[in-house]
Amino acid sequence: MSNEKATAAARQPKPSISFDPQYIGRITGVLLAICLVVALLLGVVNQITKPRIDAIEAEKVRLAMAQVLPAEEYVPVEASLPKTVVSLSQARSGGQSIGWVAETTATGSQGPITMMVGIDPSGKITGVSIVSHSETPNIGTKVVADQSVLDRFTGMSHEDGEITVNSGTNRFDGVSGATVSSRGVAAGVNAALDAVADLIVKEG
Amino acid sequence: MNVGKQLKEGLLTQNPVLIQLLGMCSTLAITTTISNGIGMGVSVTIILTLSNIFISLLRKIIPEQVRIACYIVVIAGFVTMVDLLLQAFFPDIAESLGVFIPLIVVNCIILARAESFASKNKPVAAAVDGICQGIGYTLVLLVMSAIRELLGSGALAGNQIFPAEYSASLIAQPVGGFLTLGCLIALMQWAQRKVKGGK
């Protein structure tokens, strides 16, 4: 308790700012030293956890690929991709191309939604899987965490125009109350279809 | 130093959430399921205890004028470490808590305990304070998330108690967080008055 009183008293009579170089050097030095120690510790922890985190991420992406379009191997496509397409790979089985998987990102209601979209050679969607999202529990998750909703995309293509939510010729039935999340997922699926369509045109 | 008194303060008379009204943001946001509540409570308890110990150790070195900057550096360091460790070893919890783990940096409970307790007491007392306040925070999260999970989605710790169709999904939404927290704070006030009146 005496300690507490002493510091409380020391706090009171120091209203003016001191420009004494020695004093400034001291507070800067202490702050710098604390920052250095913390940074060093963080570096060590990062060294330990980075391989594991990367492995978990890679596994998630692989699982999502296998879910939307099962294939023996996925070969990344070398092409300049629009900003919304994170990666585009060709799915191959027995040396034959059986379609593409595109990882795309779109804006949901709370942040970016990253999804994997499988597309067969005729341009039809074989499956959609969410890789990561930050949608509101019990609202946005009615779209992004419900596979039966995501499966409504299966079989759709751009033949009838761009996919629109709850309207238009190429209609995706969203979840009421989660319109923004539904639109987000539809935007990501559209980006994937566009990217693959571009690829098909280029390859003739 | 008095462990019993500190524990009583952390749990009841100085409960960080219900009496000090600190850390409201995370309390309202993550208490949708019990597993989230426990994950968040344990993370905060660990970070609070570690930062309390370190700030108590450094209390004579840290200059008065830059103390808040020093506290924030220490707290942010521990939060980032816990965040990385969770992502590496408990990816499910890390995913469901999402952005609220990094946001522990600005959780007022930790800064408040650093400023009002750890900077004035010995490391052991500071550690006990961190654990007690952490338990108090975790308990409130647990009660809130149990109420909200049961009423909001008809489940308890992931086990369906009654069909989700009969649940009041309002309780699982932000509105329900405010309502539940308000009721708990009112209950705490009532209980405190009752205890005082009895004496």
How does pLDDT run across B138-169, given as a tens digit for each residue?
A: 999 999 989 988 888 787 877 777 777 777 87
Domain ranges across chain B: 3-198
Would you say B108 and B133 are in contact if contact means Cβ atoms under 8 Å apart? no
Per DSSP, B164 falls in state G
**What distance, in Å, lies between the first and last C-alpha atoms of chain A?**
82
Residue of B nearest to A42 (CA): B81
Any B CB within 8 A of A7 CB: yes
How does pLDDT run across A156-189, given as a tens digit for each residue?
A: 888 777 888 887 778 888 888 888 888 889 898 8
- Compute the CA torsion angle B182, B188, B194, B199 (nearest 10 deg): -150
Tell me chain B's radius of gyration from C-alpha atoms.
18
Average pLDDT estimate for B100-105: 85
Residues of B in contact with A3 (CB under 8 A): 120-121
CA-to-CA distance for A87 and A120, rounded, in angstroms?
16
Average pLDDT estimate for B6-11: 80
pLDDT at B183: 92
pLDDT at A15: 56
Residues of B in contact with A59 (CB under 8 A): none
Note the Cα B135 to chain centre separation in Å. 8
> How do beta strands A171-172 and A164-165 pair?
parallel
pLDDT at A1: 43
Q: Sorting pLDDT into bands at 50, 70 and 90, what band is B186?
A: very high
Residues of B in contact with A41 (CB under 8 A): 77, 81
Cβ-based interface (< 8 Å): residues of B facing A: 32-33, 58, 61-66, 69-70, 73-74, 76-77, 80-81, 84-85, 87-89, 91, 95, 98-99, 119-121, 152-153, 169, 172-173
Per DSSP, A87 falls in state E
Q: Which residue has the tokens 């400034």?
A: A24
Would you say A166 and A92 are in contact if contact means Cβ atoms under 8 Å apart? no
Q: Sorting pLDDT into bands at 50, 70 and 90, what band is B198?
A: low
Structure tokens at A85: 């397409």
Q: Which residue has the tokens 């990367």?
A: A54
CA-to-CA distance for A149 and B113, rounded, in angstroms?
46
Say which residues have a Cβ less than 8 Å from residue A32's Cβ, sequence separation at least 6. Answer: none
Q: Which of A135, A84, A147 has its CA nearest to residue A108?
A: A135
CA-to-CA distance for A141 and A109, rounded, in angstroms?
11
pLDDT at A2: 45
φ/ψ region of B179 (left if φ > 0, alpha if ψ in -120 to 50, else beta) reads: alpha
Partner-chain residue, chosen from A38, A56, A138, that has the shortest CB–CB distance to B169: A138
Best interface-test mutation with B: which of A47, A48, A53, A109 has the largest number of B CBs within 10 A?
A53
**What distance, in Å, lies between the first and last C-alpha atoms of chain B?**
26
Best interface-test mutation with B: which of A31, A109, A176 has the largest number of B CBs within 10 A?
A31
How does pLDDT run across B50-83, given as a tens digit for each residue?
A: 999 988 988 888 888 888 888 889 899 999 998 8
pLDDT at A7: 53
Residue B159's φ and ψ, nearest 5 degrees, are -95, 125
Q: Could you give the ipTM of this predicted complex?
A: 0.73
Counting other chains too, the contacts that A154-162 makes at CB distance below 8 Å and 24 or more residues apart are A154/A125, A154/A126, A154/A127, A154/A128, A155/A124, A155/A125, A156/A124, A156/A125, A156/A189, A157/A122, A157/A123, A157/A124, A157/A125, A157/A193, A158/A123, A158/A190, A158/A193, A158/A194, A158/A197, A159/A123, A162/A190
Question: Which stretches of chain A drop beneath a pLDDT of 50?
Answer: 1-2
pLDDT at A90: 85
Task: Give A51 to chain B, closest Cα distance, Å.
Answer: 8
Q: Is it the case that residue B121 has pLDDT exceeding 90?
A: no
β strands within A3-143, DSSP E: 73-76, 85-93, 96-107, 112-119, 125-132
Residue of A nearest to B74 (CA): A38
Q: Which residue has the tokens 């007690």?
A: B132
Average pLDDT estimate for B113-129: 87
